Structure 1
Amino acid sequence: MIGLWSVVLTAALILSAVVVLGVGSVHIPAGDVVDVVARRMRLITGAGVTPLNDEIVWQMRAPRVLGSIAVGALLALSGAILQTLTGNELADPYLLGISSGASVGAVTVLVIGITSTLSQSLLMTLASFAGAVVALVLVLAMATGRSGALPAGRTILAGVAVGQLCGAAVNLLIMVVGQRDVARTAMAWTLGAFTGLRWGSATTLAVVAVVALAVCVVNARILDAFAFGDVSAQSLGIAVTPVRWAFMIGTALVTAVCVAFTGPIGFVGLTVPHIVRLVVGPRHAGVRPLSALAGALLTLWSDTAARSLAPGSEIPVGVITAAVGAPVLVVLLRRQARRS
């Protein structure tokens, strides 16, 4: 079952990427898209590839497609890990305030215009990571009981509180900045967008996604142990607290990288793991890779809708993912209500 779904989703992702590379103000047939990609990968000589098609497909659209695939995979993986570690099916980087904390760090660099010998993207990544870790620590400090347990309701409330606090800080930073262009850029960035992705940033996101997926696959047994609670994990010889913190800090880092390059994009980490578990069951050996593939498909098509639904303008990607994720959140809340 898992193998079959992996093949299906992988094929769907490859086909979707080919189709999306041809979608835009200038339509390019799928055959020409394949020729451009094959030429760039030195699989063919590419004598029939025009310079215009090469420029549009490879230089303008391909980085955006690769970046959206990587971000979707990373956010879905992060959501699946957080749901397991907290024992809370509503956990994801957005609802737990991690994305909001990362946004505070990134917007601070963007708005204040901090100068350094480091590139702005690296500065934003570092600042995002710092903000994400601080937000995560605050949420866990507020939610963790004396026994070390993380009650689902309290964790979500803590995440919402920290998210609101970080959101207010972001809005304050945007309001006090004197330059309207910078403020407008920061405001648009807070809604999530893949517009500014180029090959350097897209490649970075892709490498992070591959590493994160490899770590999850290798540690699938440990994550499976957490799914049955801390006591079960301890009985299997797992150091619960250090391992939980290691994965959560890793999740914060992954979220920070995504936020630094594309802004906060919500609901991907919440909805995708649940859909995957409904299809293949709870085992992490299957949930992780399938969540990455499904998350990549969601963000890829969300970005395509964002740049295609309103000709002449672009809808923020976060609006599209929220339109998809909000109904799923309502369904999950109703499920919890029926169980209680």
Structure 2
Amino acid sequence: MRVTLEEGGPRLHRSPPPRPREDPAVLVGIELAALCRSDLKEVAGTRHGPSQFGHELVGVVRESTTSAFAEGTRVVLDPNVKVERGTGFADHMWAAGPDDLLRHALQPVPHGPAARRLVFAEPIACAQHCLSAIKRQVGGLRGAQVVVLGAGTAGLFIAALAERAGAQVSVCNRSRARMDAARKADLLDVPTLLFGELAGDRADVVVVATSFVTPTVLDEALRLVAPGGLVLLYGGTAPGDRHPGLECDLDQVRRTETVAACTWQGHSLHVAGSYGTTAEDFAAAIGDLTDAASPLRAEALVAAEVDLPGLLGLLRTPDALGPGKIVVHPEPS
């Protein structure tokens, strides 16, 4: 059984996934998947770039025609590596491609930790990549004033990792419901405020981690950043996106992970981007989740659990989704 995204929208198939024509190939039995905001963007047609539908997952290799993976290996997926694959919203998923690409696309994870925790490996790897982008511009984070705009999964992970790196972190969001959900999850111990409640011109770094980098959110980022500070674009952008008075192409900065020196209302600042992941980010994320002394309790963000038919219903009514992460079981509940 699998949920695929097709021209007419999401569709539930009760047949096995088709095997790729090329070799080597690996069949992964899906333990658990998770619904990402980018999946919803794909359904709505508002996400730019190659499809990554059904990419947050943890599973076990059931068949393998490559020496890179033995049967029984537990894996998570790096969707930024270009292999031929099916959707992770399924009971099984095929992946095919050269050995070196498969080895990077399917990242091994230990068997001990619960799937409810390991399914967060990919979003945490993205958050780790974001922190690396910040460090390239400002150096170490210890003692830095960091504000994260957006209290969704991405924003909370970025804030949690920045706090662990020694930064003084605040999280701001536009809606109170999402802030209340963030406090309830108790993933991190930092101030959580609504837009406009934090004093301006004080943050060394402002991370825009909302689903989209909208003019309203960017205005708040520019209000909060200190002269000479950094605005880091993590949320979604579209080709040609610009902001009046800010002389840079926002989408190009984000996707190429470059930095632009800008001026805003007489103050100098830098705008940089974070896009994608690396193998090092996944290694760090898996370490965060499995650290024996202080693991990142990512499963605290799980708000609801559905099966594949239930996922199809959610994809058809995305406006009904509340805050928190939806995890998807491959077998009917």
Q: Normalised by the size of structure 2, how large is the TM-score?
A: 0.29
